[in-house]
């Protein structure tokens, strides 16, 4: 598994990469591994939408299961990764790069402090796999 140190993570397996007041959100390597082959991505939030921390903003389906994707922090959606409609399997091959899900403008950056760093998230994943 890959746990990039520059990200923050949620217990629902989303990640956040922050650049100033903008954040990119996606699903972790652990999540894509658990879901297996992802075949469909659907966004319930579009550009301009205000999405609260913990609210569903997307869903993914795989050959094994379907999963809701939750917003890790409050924000306004700037862009969703529309390319995933045509290539949802990119989440399996590049969950931290080309397969990002949404770019948001942070509205409550203090919420980032409650998210896990890479070491804590790795320990959390290993605990669940034991």
- pLDDT, mean over the chain: 96
Instruction: Give CA separation, 85 vs 31, 81, 93, in Å.
Output: 18, 8, 15
Whether pLDDT at 129 is above 90: no
Whether pLDDT at 99 is above 90: yes
* Average of per-residue pLDDT across 15-27: 97
Burial of 71-98, coded b for 16+ CB within 10 Å and e otherwise, reads bbbbbebeebbeebeeebbbbbeebbee
Whether pLDDT at 13 is above 90: yes
What domains sit in the chain, N to C, each tagged with a CATH number?
8-129 (2.40.50.100)
- What pTM does this model have? 0.95
* Average of per-residue pLDDT across 62-78: 96
* Average of per-residue pLDDT across 28-44: 96
């Amino acid at each position: 598994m890959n746990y990039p140190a520059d990200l923050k993570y949620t217990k629902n397996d989303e990640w956040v990469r922050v650049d100033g007041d903008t954040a990119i959100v996606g699903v972790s390597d652990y999540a894509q591994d658990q879901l297996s082959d992802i075949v469909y991505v659907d966004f319930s939030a579009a550009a301009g939408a205000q999405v609260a921390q913990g609210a569903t903003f997307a869903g993914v389906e795989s050959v094994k299961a379907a999963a809701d994707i939750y917003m890790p922090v409050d924000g306004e959606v700037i862009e969703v990764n529309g390319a995933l409609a045509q290539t949802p399997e990119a989440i399996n091959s590049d969950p931290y790069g080309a397969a990002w899900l949404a770019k948001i403008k942070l509205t409550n950056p203090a919420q980032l402090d409650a998210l896990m760093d890479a070491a804590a998230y790795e320990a959390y994943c290993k605990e669940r796999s034991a």
